[in-house]
Structure 1
């Protein structure tokens, strides 16, 4: 089913917010004092977990989301913590997990997104709980995946995005699901990948991003698809990869963010549509998309007004074009992109007003540029 895009969602894009999977969102795994290099993007700040388990951050810091005890923005990476194995940036807060599986938070807590029973934020990391394997910081809310496979949420509950069957805000974590192996969120909805490879979603659904054939908000999780191996939540576009490496999308199609000439009109797709085969990973920003193919190449499409596609210009791309080879991982959020290459170099492009891309400047980057990791 299709429905015409409601133009009243356009302002929400600029106000809304990934996120960190290996993107918003890689499950936390520790190997002694070493870990896999990981990256995450908040709305206006970036996070890097080094192989030595040091968490670095750069960008906007008005709420203390950089976790260094100040409210001063930084265009170069500042150190937040050690012994970190996974991190995630939201629009104004940061979550991270240490190698003992403890959860920590910094930044704004005005909506209870820390889940610690208060609404008081912190410019330095605050310990929240134990037993967490993955954390996702989104727009004024948080999702955590515990070691037992249960999912817990807290914060602002607009449209039921906490998935607890209500639209009541929470400042303590509430359990919503069991049997889950991955989570993803950036803006007003959340995705949950269960151990049986079924994909579920909850929250706002005005553009069909939950893929259930409607534009009705869902405060209780609804099933989106079967045989799914990975997914990424955008702002109002969901993309996921099935076990056969086919890429699917549901939600808002505009500026060519679906990466195919078959989907160039501005539509809201309320059920998933197949985009292409041979995909290993997908990263969804505001209205731009990065596709990591099984051969290690990276392809980009969609909005490019701040250079987020890394093509060397600011021209929108309606049909996906190859931008890099030898890529290991990619993350997108809002109008930013961050890439890890197979040689472990970190590259960034896109919006850089607050120094979010960590290259020592506050100038937008239309060409992939090195992140200045100390």
Structure 2
């Protein structure tokens, strides 16, 4: 930021001017100078001074990873906070930001991971920024310059996976780029292949969600398809065998969430089901035993999110519920839970990652809790938060 200085010129006043006029001009000049020093409109605060918080933005969407968070406000402005390794922010640098900084305009959807981000702009075009070590940006073998680059003309959903990017187009075709984990691409590719441009991998896809090393795919007919690592039963196939290529496991599904080592789904009757790792009670089924088939948890659920060892769910009445590991992740103090407990009211959206959670309330304010080692919750420092705290823009 460049420092702007304001100079007030006092000209010599002829002796024939009245003393009262001279006094008035001098007082006016001093008032103007004082106003500029305080950071009045048109001036810039001196470097190193703390800017005052601006009015709370009204947020519509939030996406988070272990290292980074991105959020979109009601004016379609994209904001970023976090570690920014790999130039995830799209700002052309790798600078850490412990407070949210403005990134781009005309953005309608965002998905962020530790190493890259994807956005859909108002014209439905897809743009991406970050690391391209496994071709996950879909821009060939080019090295990213840290700025957003366009990769597709139209999209309905995006997902910045572990080492892949995913795009669902308006015709419900699913496209992917990156490392060929667990044969997500067709059989013409080997498991060691890197696919560095977007390739079509499925049709009739409604939603896609990616965990640490497994993928959930929801088709337009409500069928659930899975592939990937299955050590903890996170695929819900009834065994713990790795699955190469997508396989159908059930019908009647309307929403999906692939967490680090467990999976959550909402069925068409709004019931919540869970499978996978459960050491900390993250499945919310009243015990701490891993499951390799989806088990019903509770009813009347409208939205999902999950961290490494915990789960979050919004009910139809706007209440937020949590289960699992509670090291500041629930937004309330207390022990781990193996059944879902209520943690907040009036919630419209939730996002979670390794050890922190973000939520948007019905008044469109953004709140954060949990680990903040990398500035990822945008609270203005690297201090962690033990309860949900409203995020203010600087």
After TM superposition, give the deviation of residue 363 of structure 1 in Å. Answer: 1.1
Higher strand share: 1
User: For residues 239 and 181 of structure 1, do their structure 2 counterparts lie closer, same or farther at Cα, with a shift above 3 Å needed?
Assistant: same
Normalization by structure 1: what TM-score? 0.85
Match of 1:202 among 193, 216, 227: 227
Match of 1:121 among 144, 148, 157: 144
What residue is the counterpart of 2:97 in the other structure?
A: 74
Matches of 2:247 and 2:165 in 1, distance apart? 19
Aligned to 1:330, the other structure's residue is in SS state strand
Alignment partner of 1:309 is 2:330: yes
Matches of 1:155 and 1:242 in 2, distance apart? 30
What residue is the counterpart of 2:205 in the other structure?
A: 180
What residue is the counterpart of 2:350 in the other structure?
A: 330
In structure 1, the gaps of 5 or more residues are 1-34
Check whether the contact 1:296–1:327 (CA below 8 A) recurs between aligned residues. Answer: yes
Matches of 2:142 and 2:329 in 1, distance apart? 34
What residue is the counterpart of 1:246 in the other structure?
A: 271
After TM superposition, give the deviation of residue 125 of structure 1 in Å. Answer: 0.8
Check whether the contact 1:43–1:89 (CA below 8 A) recurs between aligned residues. Answer: no
Alignment partner of 1:264 is 2:288: yes
After TM superposition, give the deviation of residue 119 of structure 1 in Å. Answer: 4.8
Higher relative contact order (CA 8 A, sep 6+): 1
Alignment partner of 1:284 is 2:306: yes
Aligned to 2:147, the other structure's residue is in SS state strand
After TM superposition, give the deviation of residue 373 of structure 1 in Å. Answer: 3.6
Match of 1:296 among 304, 314, 318: 318
After TM superposition, give the deviation of residue 358 of structure 1 in Å. Answer: 0.8
**How many corresponding residue pairs?**
334
Match of 2:382 among 350, 362, 369: 362
Matches of 1:94 and 1:43 in 2, distance apart? 13
Written as runs of structure 1 = structure 2, the 5 A alignment for 1:1-374 is 37-160=60-183, 162-165=184-187, 166-167=190-191, 168-261=193-286, 263-265=287-289, 267=290, 269-305=291-327, 307-312=328-333, 315-373=335-393
After TM superposition, give the deviation of residue 36 of structure 1 in Å. Answer: 7.5
Normalization by structure 2: what TM-score? 0.81
Matches of 1:190 and 1:75 in 2, distance apart? 31
In structure 2, the gaps of 5 or more residues are 1-57
Aligned to 1:159, the other structure's residue is in SS state helix
After TM superposition, give the deviation of residue 138 of structure 1 in Å. Answer: 1.8
Matches of 1:210 and 1:316 in 2, distance apart? 24
TM-superposition CA deviations, 1:252-272 (whole Å, max 9, x none) = 1121111231x323x2x2211
Matches of 1:205 and 1:218 in 2, distance apart? 7
Check whether the contact 1:45–1:57 (CA below 8 A) recurs between aligned residues. Answer: yes
User: Cα RMSD between the aligned structures?
Assistant: 1.7
Check whether the contact 1:84–1:99 (CA below 8 A) recurs between aligned residues. Answer: yes
Structure with larger Rg? 2
Q: Runs of 4 or more off by more than 6 Å in structure 1?
A: none
Check whether the contact 2:65–2:352 (CA below 8 A) recurs between aligned residues. Answer: no
After TM superposition, give the deviation of residue 172 of structure 1 in Å. Answer: 1.3
